Structure formats: structure tokens, C-alpha cells
Amino acid sequence: RVQRVPATEAQGRIHTSTATVAVLPEAAEIDFELKPEEIRIEVCRAGGPGGQGVNTTDSAVQVLHIPTGTIVRCQDGRSQQKNKEKALNILRSRLLEVKQREEAEKYAAHRKSQIGSGGREEKIRTYNFPQNRVTDHRIGLTLYNLDRVMEGDLNELISAMQVADLAERLKESASTA
């Protein structure tokens, strides 16, 4: 939370702003490969229009991905090989889509855990410019050197956070032991 009196404020009122920050890893490319032992390929005669060509040759292909139970059936072409390639490509696309959706959900959950709702009850630190004050609400620390903190002198803040973190860890280990 930032509290300041803007230069454009004629009556000297304090304006309050909030910001949330999330530090997340870059999303990696998902590499997906179908392993031969994870798929079962079945061939059969296709149905529908096509006459003798369809009725007498095993040109339809059905591919089962055993771990997920996903089934793809292809009987578009007259060639079994082309139908097999097409079915494998469709299966790969579907499985990749599921994997991407899972990664996106995991990423969103990680982000939400860092920023929460962004509401007033979740404030971590207040920067009060009129009073030259920084307050860290998690550890109850108030410093009257906002100008130095804004210039990057965070040593006091960091050391106080480290002491509080160590105390919290000791308290947790004592309660579990």
C-alpha cells in the first residue's frame, strides 16, 4: 500500500494505492512424445460410402492411449497408413492440449497463492510518504526512513524479516517436536 499526497491534490488529502506482485517462473515449452508402449493400435474395416474399397480392406484405424484412456478413430482416407498417421497426430494434439491445460491451472494456482485477493486485509507493507514511514505489517516493524528505502537501502528491512523468519521456523520446529 502506498500513501501519498499527489502534486495535483489542491486540498492536501492523502491518496492510497495498492499493488500486488507475483514472482513466477517462465512457462517452459511442453515437450510431448507418444511412447509406443503407451498406445494400442487396432485396424478394422471402415464403414460408410466407398463401396468395395471400404468393405474389403482394413483401412480404418483406432488408437488408444492406455494411461489416459483417450481413443481416436480415423477412417477418412483409403490408406491404412495415412489414417494411422492422422489418428496419431490427433491423439498427440488432444494429449498436448490436456497437458497444457494442466500446466495453465498449476500456474494460475501458484500465482493466486502469491497475490491472494489483493484486498486491504492482505496488506504486507505500507509506504507513507507524508510521514516518511515504512511499516511491514507481517512483523510489526515501522521505519522512518522511506527515502532511503526507496533508494534501495533495504538492509534494516531484510535483517528484521530474517530474524522474524528464523523465530517462526524455531516456533514451528518446537511445536512439531
Q: Is residue 26 part of a domain?
A: no
DSSP category for residue 38: G
Last residue of a domain, one of 97, 115, 133: 115
User: Do residues 96 and 32 lie in contact, with contact meaning Cβ atoms separated by under 8 Å?
Assistant: yes
Q: pLDDT tens digits, the chain, 177 residues: what are they?
A: 788 888 888 898 989 888 877 776 666 666 667 888 999 999 887 776 666 655 667 788 999 999 999 999 988 877 888 999 999 989 988 888 888 888 888 888 888 777 776 666 778 889 999 999 999 998 999 999 999 999 999 999 999 999 999 998 999 888 886
Assess whether 100 and 128 both reside in one domain.
no
Domain that holds residue 15: 2-20+118-176
pTM of this prediction exceeds 0.75: no
91 in any annotated domain: yes
Q: Does 27 map to a domain?
A: no
Q: Answer yes or no: do 15 and 42 share one domain.
A: no
Q: Does residue 30 lie in a domain region? A: no
The verdict on 71 and 140 lying in the same domain is: no
Could you give the angle at the alpha carbon of 139 between the alpha carbons of 134 and 131, nearest 5°?
A: 15
